[in-house]
Amino acid sequence: MPTITNTCIRLISRAVGLPDASVWKVCTQPLPALEDSQFLVRVHYISIDPAMRGWMNEGSTYIQGVQLGDVMRAFAAGEVIDSKNPAFPIGTYVTGLLGVQTYACSDGQNVERVPASSPNELPRYLGVLGMPGMTAYWGLLDKGCPRAGETVLVSGAAGTVGSLVGQIAKLHGCTVIGIAGGTKKCDYLRHTLGFDAALDYTQGSLSARIRSAAPQGVNIYFDNVGGDVLDAALENLARGARVVICGAISQYNNTTPDGKPAPPQGPTNYMKIVTARGQMNGIIVFDYFHRTQEFRSHMQRWIAEGKITLHEHILEGIESFPHALTMLFRGENIGKILVRVTSPSVPSA
Amino acid sequence: MPTITNTCIRLISRAVGLPDASVWKVCTQPLPALEDSQFLVRVHYISIDPAMRGWMNEGSTYIQGVQLGDVMRAFAAGEVIDSKNPAFPIGTYVTGLLGVQTYACSDGQNVERVPASSPNELPRYLGVLGMPGMTAYWGLLDKGCPRAGETVLVSGAAGTVGSLVGQIAKLHGCTVIGIAGGTKKCDYLRHTLGFDAALDYTQGSLSARIRSAAPQGVNIYFDNVGGDVLDAALENLARGARVVICGAISQYNNTTPDGKPAPPQGPTNYMKIVTARGQMNGIIVFDYFHRTQEFRSHMQRWIAEGKITLHEHILEGIESFPHALTMLFRGENIGKILVRVTSPSVPSA
């Protein structure tokens, strides 16, 4: 192999609020030679996920934060172009925590082979068949436990996880209400995804409109956003409701008046869980990686039958990563945001 | 029977913050004659419970609020002194929602016969063998699901429910940490009740001291208080923790800066439930009334064996009710607060 230059994006300072360009540094450097059991991946697509905002913070929650100076953590998908690992021969398509970079050297840890037949098929392994798909699938089915006839309310409903939760809930015979920001997203939920109702949280009293859409109350609330939307949902729980906390994207960029990072707004209506005889728990997708095949076989069947779809919003070039991330936090996307890495192909050795 | 004059305390306005004397009116009136299937109870003890603060508000949660002008709702215990109901003959001791009054006319709804042999035994049917005892028992055992060797953290630990939760948890082989306000209460928890540790929330960082007392994390957190104490507990959950919400006494008298009732402070650390793979639910004791005998047989055995105790703090005279309630919200009590009703006995007909 000729020497390859890797372009990567490193986290160089902690963000306060919405991450701006100053926290990133684009670096290029030649890749070192592979060691035994390593392989080299040419990255084709980088996944933009809400969880990234937590990874940018100091300390650890369910996973250690990215160290300052390190390549930003990201799920990505690509193709093995050189290998000293027989389990990952040249030509293998892979996904995993490959980072925000054009080439990733891996020993196979946190990396998985995927049965794609061309790079164009890779985005789905970062979306509907990947981590967000698993989050939606297991969060709804294993934590929410939907039963036919129940009402499922999901926030961030036009986002990747939210749009999949709603579609999977429909497939289980539930009435599905989505919460999203703006007419365009709400139209998409109703007319493209077939949600029973879509509520625009930017318009008037959300709690009253949930009550109107779910007069018998909400049996499952799947929360991707936190904040006031969570409180409005809690006001409308049916008896025995399950509240599944997946994320709190409206709260990740909170700052104090003097410009320091601030914790999320706590749900003042948390006692409604008690009076509804409900429960709240959450979904950490890493706990379900050992059940990937089980998930994927269901999801692939639904995709093949045309019952599940996921809109993809693709930005070109690794340099678009910082913008892609702010788009996500500003809610400017429908469905899955990805960055397509457009490095020139490496000539064969 | 001669005509009997009933003294009752009515709720005449909605409280904002800690209820003051202006929301109550003491009234006296002759009791009407009994109708068929009714019976008359001479009330001996009135139970003072945190839940009363919620009952004083407009609207409904798990139970309708007390209407303005009505006798204040209360659990109480007394003796049947006249009866047209064969199930409740004269001389029967009863407990139930008899209200803050010296005599209660009942048709048996929400009233239960208890096997007391004298009025002196009635307080325990309002405490350790009554509603708070059931709350502690089912909240810990059915919602918290303790296993031997686990660490149980309980707030409001010197109160009725809290002190029982801790003792029941000890009987199930758990390490028990209580949170209470002040040295006197903490000494009581350690030395009288045998808690493994007692943390005074008024002294320094509670979260750090929980971490110190529970280095492996908290498996069950039983919350009676809400607010900052709840957030400190959430920071210290062990993997798979169960958070049982029973009450939020620190939050019931919240007001806005302009003097209106305010909702509880929401737990900013609610996402810790997710990262801990935990869950939060709550206990509504009314759901367990059909299992009273099952509860009581266990509790009576523990009392007989000297393994469960409950301190009683008794105030004299129905007029002391408003003061008793503010004592409770100010945390001036250890254990159960009761009002002893000191009406003169009614001469036999």
Is residue B347, in this structure, part of any structural domain at all? no
Average pLDDT over residues A15-28: 95
Q: Is residue A33 part of a domain?
A: yes
- DSSP lists the bridge partners of residue B198 as B178
Residue B323 inside a domain? The answer is: yes
The pTM of this model reads 0.93
B178-223 residue pLDDT tens: 999 999 999 999 999 999 999 999 998 999 999 999 999 999 999 9
pLDDT at B84 over 80: yes
Residue A257 burial class via C-beta count within 10 angstroms: exposed 0-12, middle 13-18, buried 19 and up: exposed
**Tokens representing A249?**
């994207």
CA–CA gap between residue A344 and residue A28 (Å, rounded): 15
The CATH number covering residue B282 comes to: 3.40.50.720
Closest CA to B218 of B247, B192, B240: B240
From CA B238, how far away is CA B144, in angstroms rounded? Answer: 13
pLDDT band at A204 (very low <50, low <70, confident <90, very high): confident
pLDDT of residue A52: 96
Axis crossing angle, helix B292-304 with helix B131-138, rounded to the nearest 10: 100
| Whether B247 and B324 share a structural domain | no
CA distance B9 to B339: 13
Mean pLDDT of A95-115: 95
Alpha-carbon B240 to chain mean position: 28
Cα distances from B96 to residues B21, B53, B84, B114, B161, in angstroms, run: 25, 18, 18, 10, 18
Q: Calculate helix-pair angle for B160-171, B131-138, nearest 10 degrees.
A: 40
Q: Could B270 and A278 be called an inter-chain contact, meaning their C-beta atoms sit closer than 8 Å?
A: no
SS3 B113: strand
Q: Which residue of B has its CA nearest to A270?
A: B266
The pLDDT score that the predictor gives to residue A260 is: 86
**A329 and A224 both lie in a single domain:** no
Residue B346 banded pLDDT, cuts 50, 70, 90: low
Query: CA A8 to CA A29: how far, in whole Å?
Result: 8
Asked if pLDDT for residue A323 goes beyond 50, the answer is yes
Same domain, B91 and B189: no
Residues A59 and A158 in one domain: no
* DSSP three-state, residue B37: coil
Q: Which residues on chain A are in Cβ contact (under 8 Å) with B284?
A: 274-275, 277
Q: Please check whether residues A28 and A170 belong to one and the same domain.
A: no
Residues B116 and B145 in one domain: no
B329 plus B261 within the same structural domain: no
Mention every residue, 6+ apart, whose C-beta is less than 8 A from residue B76. Answer: B43, B44, B45, B46, B47, B95, B96, B97, B98, B99, B100, B104, B126, B341
Residue B20 has pLDDT above 60, yes or no: yes
Same domain, B29 and B138: no
Instruction: Dig out the tokens for B178 from the structure.
Output: 């209580």
- pLDDT above 70 coverage of chain B, percent: 98
What's residue A175's pLDDT? 98
- Summarised one tens digit per residue, pLDDT across range A263-320 is 999 999 999 999 999 999 999 999 999 999 999 999 999 999 999 999 999 999 999 9
Residues A84 and A105 in one domain: yes
Mean pLDDT value of segment B63-84: 96
Q: Are residues A25 and A157 in the same domain?
A: no
Cα–Cα distances in angstroms (integers) from residue B12 to residues A38, B130, B212, in the given order: 77, 28, 48
Residue B343 reports pLDDT greater than 80: no
Q: Total domain count for chain A?
A: 2
Whether residue B348 lies inside any domain: the answer is no
> Of B107 and A60, which is predicted with more confidence?
B107
Look at residue A318 in the predicted model and tell me its pLDDT. 97
Alpha helices by DSSP H, chain B: 51-55, 122-126, 131-138, 160-171, 183-187, 206-213, 227-234, 272-275, 292-304, 321-330
**Nearest-by-Cβ selection for A245 from B263, B268, B271:** B271
Residue B210 lies in a domain: yes
Q: Is residue A349 part of a domain?
A: no
Distance from CA of A269 to the nearest CA of B (A): 7
How does residue B349 score in pLDDT terms, banded at 50, 70 and 90? very low
ipTM exceeding cut-off 0.85 for this assembly: yes
**pLDDT tens for residues A51-102?**
999 999 988 777 889 999 999 999 999 999 999 999 999 999 999 999 999 9
Residue B15's domain spans which residues? 5-127+311-340
Shortest Cα distance from A226 to chain B (angstroms)?
Answer: 10
Which residue in chain A is spatially nearest to B267 when comparing CA positions? A266
Q: Name the DSSP letter for residue B111.
A: E
Determine the pLDDT at residue A21. 93
If one counts every other C-beta atom within 10 angstroms of the C-beta of residue B119, the result is 16
A267: which chain B residues are within 8 Å (Cβ-Cβ)? 266-267, 270
pLDDT in tens, B121-154: 999 999 999 999 999 999 999 999 999 999 999 9
**B-contacting residues of A 220-259, CB under 8 Å?**
226, 231, 245-246, 248
Q: What is the reported pLDDT for B279?
A: 98
Instruction: Find, in chain A, the residue whose alpha carbon is nearest to that of B277.
Output: A282
Q: How far is B348 from chain A (nearest CA, A)?
A: 45
Q: Which residues pair with A184 in a beta bridge?
A: none
pLDDT given for residue B75 in this prediction: 96
Looking at the fold, whether B225 and B294 belong to one and the same domain comes out as yes
Longest dimension (CA), chain B: 67
Average pLDDT score over residue span B309-327: 96
Distance CA A222, CA A196 (A): 16
Q: What is the pLDDT of residue A343?
A: 63
pLDDT confidence bin for B348, thresholds 50/70/90: very low
CATH number at residue B10: 3.90.180.10
Per-residue model confidence (pLDDT) at position B60? 75
* Closest-approach residue (CA) in chain B for A245: B274
Q: Is A228 exposed, middle or buried (0-12, 13-18, 19+ CB in 10 A)?
A: middle
User: Is A344 a residue whose pLDDT tops 70?
Assistant: no
pLDDT recorded at residue A349: 40
- A227 in the same domain as A140: yes
DSSP label of B194: -
What six digits make up the tokens of A103? 């080439």
On the question of pLDDT at A331 being above 70, the answer is yes
Cβ-Cβ contacts under 8 Å between A and B: the total is 92
Of residues A62, A263, A273, nearest to B275 (C-beta): A62
Residue A106 contacts residue A96 (beta carbons within 8 Å): yes
Within a domain: A74: yes
Q: How confident is the model at residue A348 (pLDDT cuts 50, 70, 90)?
A: very low
Q: What percent of chain A has pLDDT over 90?
A: 91
For residue range B147-183, list pLDDT tens digits in order: 999 999 999 999 999 999 999 999 999 999 999 999 9
The token pair at B292 is 């009273």
**Chain B residues within an 8 Å CB radius of A281:** 273-274, 277-280
Question: In this structure, is residue B349 part of a structural domain?
Answer: no
Q: Cα separations (Å) of B284 from A91, A213, A288, B100, B288? A: 59, 27, 33, 22, 8
